[in-house]
A and B are shown apart, each in its own frame.
Chain A
Amino acid sequence: MSAEHLLWLTVLGPAVFALAATLVRSTRASLAIVAAGSLVSSALNALIAILVLARGPLLAGAGWFRVDALSACHLALLALVGASSGLYAVIYLAEELRQGSLTARQARHFAGLWCGTLAALAFLLVSNNLGLMWVGLETTTLLTAFLIALHVSRESLEAMWKYLLICSVAIAFAFMGTLLAAAAATTTHSGAPPALFWTDLIAVAPRLDPALMRAAFLFLIVGYGTKAGLAPMHNWLPDAHSQAPAPVSALFSCFMLNAALYCTLRFIPVMEGVPGCAGWAQGLLLGFGLISVVVGAGFMLFQHDAKRLFAYCSVEHVGLIGLGLGLGGLGTVAALLHSVNHSLAKALAFFAAGRLGQAHGTHEIAHMSGALRTSRAWGVALLASCLALVGAAPFATFLSELLLLKALFDHGRTALLVVVLAALGLAFVGLMRHAIRLAWARGEEPPRRITVGIADVALVSLVLAALIALGVVIPTPLRQAVQAAAAIVNAPSAANLVAGVRP
């Protein structure tokens, strides 16, 4: 089977599972489908990523599908997140089943929507066409809406509606931006209508109309940025993340945000090509990133709901990633590394929060306290992930944040550096203050028993091991992949990238 088929398969595979989910009746079957779907799609994604990083870009479907290093990196990340959170979802739902709070219907819905979301994410990553990419992202929005409200409650419905409305409007804006870009493209093209291929757009970039492209990019960054949870468009994020079931929150925080950022990233090289726009788009990303870091850090201090806390933490980290991407050069490398590290850490955090929440029947920090007593594995997971999220050594996040700050410093933006450092300090206080309570304090009432199996321990130890291993040493392939991806993002400034990486 040739590589081209792989691209089709990685989209259709999970989709098939999604359809299958609508047919099965029993809960166990649905759970099985969740596991199988996640694993299959992850396997395929990983395979593609490896192929691409080994051999270079893959094309399929007459150029409609294309995977280069950048999308390969994100595919790899998706594989990582998909597999882990898929397995976790099974564990999580099994517990709910035991507690009798999960109906067969809900399980079926979950399976279908989950696999569908994976398919959509894969789709948006492999598509070479900006329009289809948009379609993919919008699809994820619509599919995940009901995942948020899997357990119907006033809060979850509220969160769902906000998520749905805000993101739909935002994504509509993104489409407007895409159209504007296309319009700009048409002005260059004579005769043959543009297929909105990313590759074409880059090719004609120097002939695009700056004003139009600026307008387009503004629509895009606001639209996709909303989905990515960049402040000040992040309002939906804490609600959705706090109300969704833990696996879903994990998927949101650990990949959906990155996916939205990825959509924005696709336009950066184009904008760099447009005359008179060099560095402008990146400047915007930098600004949004900065705001998000500050806002995210500032809000963490007062949270009383564990998952909401992590949601704001995600805002902060997305901000950091955006900051890095905005800096370009070393910053891009750092940002991409950081997105991997953050996804690992944040996944662990949400996993732990979810399981412990099951034990206490709530995510209120005050009630969840004493995690280490409730369940050692998940308590450790919680504490460790929090430490990783504040960028404490020896976790991987420390080094990626270090690189980020270095990039910021090299950029000569001392004022920004000071602000970011302050925000990081704030985030540290905000997160660890709660983390210590969560880990050690005595909770208000004794927790319910949850059955922590070998699967839980395996999951925790795997993710933790990855976090620490990446902190100590990053495998050369990963590094090369990230650098290749970075080279794609800031093609013009590739030179200073190389300079930045090995002086």
Chain B
Amino acid sequence: MSLGALLLAGVLVIPVGAAAVLALLSSYRLGSRLNILASLSTFGVAAALFRVRPEPGLFLIVDDVNVVFIVLSTFVGLTTSIFSAGYIGHELEVGRLTPVTLRFYHAMYQALMAAMNLALVANNVALMWVAVEVATLTTVLMVGIYRTHAALEAAWKYFILGSVGIAFALFGTIVIYMAAQSALGEGLDAMAWTVLVSESARFDPALLNLAFVFLLLGYGTKVGLAPLHAWLPDAHAEGPTPISAVLSGLLLNVALFALLRFKMVMAGNPDSLAPGPVMATMGLGSLLFAALMLYRRYDIKRLFAYSSIEHMGIIVFAFGMGGPLANFAGLMHMTMHSLTKSAIFFTVGHVAHAKGTQRIEDIRGLTQSHPALGWGLLLGTFAIAGMPPMGMFMSEFLLVSTTIARQPLLAIPLVLGLLLAFGALLTQAMGMAFGEGKRGTAVVPTMLYLPEFAHFGLVLVAGVYIPPPVVAWFQHVAELLG
């Protein structure tokens, strides 16, 4: 068993094992420590995958397409675990969580990590489907963890819509298999994504189209594209903040990643329906809709949940546009968004603790009362709005400029959406950051700022400099996406 295979196994086994142990562990302090430790080791192993890779198998694979996302998700998993260690302590004091639920919480957290890693490294489309479903179910359980009516409602809504999405995705997968099986014959080959991509030219286009429609709707529900987004805001708003961070930062990415793999399959087959226009339309729709919804938000977490929808819209639009520039922009935007948005949710969690509320009206003058939080929130808002020198500026630069050059008419709604969203976020963020702030409210220990500012640091650097290997991977994926 080669080193690469060991590493790959590590990425999956460590979280699973940790989940088992955490389920048994009663002390929550120990639990949170172990949680961090497990995430750290997972991240270490994943980072090692940059250097050594296992030879691709029919079930699991590590290649240019997913390695960046594996490392990214394990990294965000690590920082989130650090954040949640501080966060749940406060939750216990307030009494919204009990040690028992915390046991469950930690176990689920690691299970979620395992599921997402599996979804990323899966080469077998059915396996990927299973992994995504497991991830969804775990998040459903965690969203409902507060047992409040609102939380249960959110979880239930998420669950029902999610299950329908899962069913669609499964049907799509089956049809893909049928298409492949007629060309490649029965067996695992017809489910191995690598084979699908390379052979898709020989598949039956009609079946591919049918499959893509269902896959788009199925995984699109997870991505949170309007009008399939209904679960997303409530799930973000009512669940514990670390989970909101993971949802926005990682799960959306994973679902989108699954979608991308099938887009590559479609791209391989000239006769099949071009997925581009459909995706571009849905992306623009989500962007505009979410941008408008940002204006009348009263709950800070819901606000940023809608901004996630908006950005998923941008990304899907980018991939819908296609072409080297737009695809590169989309990939870059995915990465930047997951870093930024999770960092924003960290900040929001602190803010909610410091001010004791999630209502935007009740949060005022942060830069005065909690400078680090206030400026952090502003920094996050600007990063998410694509202000320089943050990373999203580069992706939006590439996307907008290539759009006007290729499809001038599409540039209008795109720019309109960006501007609307920016205006909304700016009003809300300025209202919270400036003005007269009440001092004396709870203070947050500086050490807890570590994760968010680590993320912001990365985003800032990426805005002006991306290491060449990452660029090479992105460009390779971009060309695969066609």
Partners in one complex: no
Chain B residues with CB under 8 Å of chain A are none
